[in-house]
Amino acid sequence: MIKELLKTKLKRIIRAGLYNFWRNGTVSLASVLVMMVTLTVVGFISFSGAILDTSLNELRNKIDINVTFVPSATEEDVLNIKYSLESLPEVSLITYISKEEALTAFKDRHANDQSILAALDELDSNPLGAVLNIKARDPSQYASVAQFLEGDNTVSKSGITIVSRVNYFQNKAAIDRLTAIIHSADRLGLALTILLAIISMLIAFNTIRLTIYISKDEISVMRLVGASTSYIQGPFVVLGIIYGLVAGIITLVLFLPMTYWLGTETENFLIGFNVFSYYLRHFVEIALVIMISGILIGALSSILAIRKYLKV
C-alpha cells in the first residue's frame, strides 16, 4: 500500500514537473538556453583540461638530461650504468646512443662545415663518447638522478670515472623554470575549473529561481492545504532536471559542428591537438559529464532556490 502511494506520488510529481516545463514555454526556453551556456562552460572546462594536459606533457617531453661518456669508455661499462639508472624509480626512459651514432649525428649537424669535417678526418679515432639520454617521470626528479651520477655509480670496472659531462647542471635553470611553469599551470587550471563551475551554478540557480518565483502563488496554496515540503519541491526538482537533460542534449549536438570547425585551428596552434578528434574519441565521457552536470545543477539549484527564496 505504501509502495503504491509513493509510486502515485512520484508520478504526480513528474507529471507536474513536465506540465510546468510545457506551460511556461518562454521561461523554459530561456532556462534551457541559460543552462546550455552553463553546460557549454562545463564542456570547455573538459576541453581546456585536455589542452592543458597536452601542453604540459609536451613541456615534460622537452625536458631531459644527457650523460656524455669519455671516448675510452667501453660499451659494457656504459650499459652497466644504463641498467643501474633504469632501476631508479625516478627514471621513465633511457635512450642509449653509441659512439658511432654520436659521431654520425655530429657529422650530420655539421654537414655544411667542411673545416670541422676535415678536422675529424685527420683524427685516427672517434673523439666522441657514448651518450645516455635520460627522461625522468617528473621534472622535479632530475636532481636526484644527477645526484646518483655524481657518486661512485659512474665508475668502470677498472675503477675509473667514465662520465665526461652531465648537462643537468648547465640546464638546471631551464629545468627549474619549466617545472615551476608546469606546477603553476596545474594550480591555475584547477582554480579556473572551480571558478567556472561556481559561476555556472550561480547562473542556473538564478534562472530556476525566476521559474519558482512565477509559481509562488501556486506554492502558497499548496502550503495552505498542507502539502509536504518534498511534494512542493518535487515538481521543481523535476523541472530543473528536465532543463539539464534538454540543455545537455542540445549542447552535445552543438559541440559537433563547433569542435569540427575548431579542430584544424587547434591542431595547427596547439601542438597537434585536434579538439574535434578528441571530442569523438571521448564522446561517452564528455556526454556523461555534461548530462550528469546538467541533472545535478538543475536539481540542486531548484532545491536551493525554493528553500532560500520562497521559505519552504
Q: How far apart are CA 299 and CA 290, in angstroms?
A: 14
Judged against a pLDDT cut of 60, whether residue 96 lies above it is answered with yes
In contact, 133 and 69? CB cutoff 8 Å: no
Spans of all domains in the chain: 2-59+179-309, 71-161
Instruction: Give the total residue count for the chain.
Output: 312
Q: In the structure, what pLDDT confidence band is assigned to residue 252 with cuts at 50, 70 and 90?
A: very high
Judged against a pLDDT cut of 60, whether residue 24 lies above it is answered with yes
Q: What is the dihedral of CA 224, 230, 232, 235, to 10 degrees?
A: -160
Q: In the structure, what pLDDT confidence band is assigned to residue 114 with cuts at 50, 70 and 90?
A: confident
Rounded to the nearest 5°, which phi and psi values hold at 124?
Answer: -80, -20
pTM of the model: 0.62
Judged against a pLDDT cut of 60, whether residue 156 lies above it is answered with yes
Q: How far apart are CA 285 and CA 102, in angstroms?
A: 45
Residue 250: the pLDDT is 92
Task: State which fold the 71-161 domain adopts.
Answer: Alpha-Beta Plaits (3.30.70)
Q: In the structure, what pLDDT confidence band is assigned to residue 288 with cuts at 50, 70 and 90?
A: very high
Q: In the structure, what pLDDT confidence band is assigned to residue 270 with cuts at 50, 70 and 90?
A: low
Task: Give the bridge partners for 65, in sequence order.
Answer: 134
In contact, 213 and 307? CB cutoff 8 Å: no
In contact, 35 and 294? CB cutoff 8 Å: yes
**Per-residue pLDDT reduced to its tens digit, 179-227:** 677 677 767 767 776 776 677 677 767 777 776 777 666 777 777 776 6
In contact, 162 and 72? CB cutoff 8 Å: yes
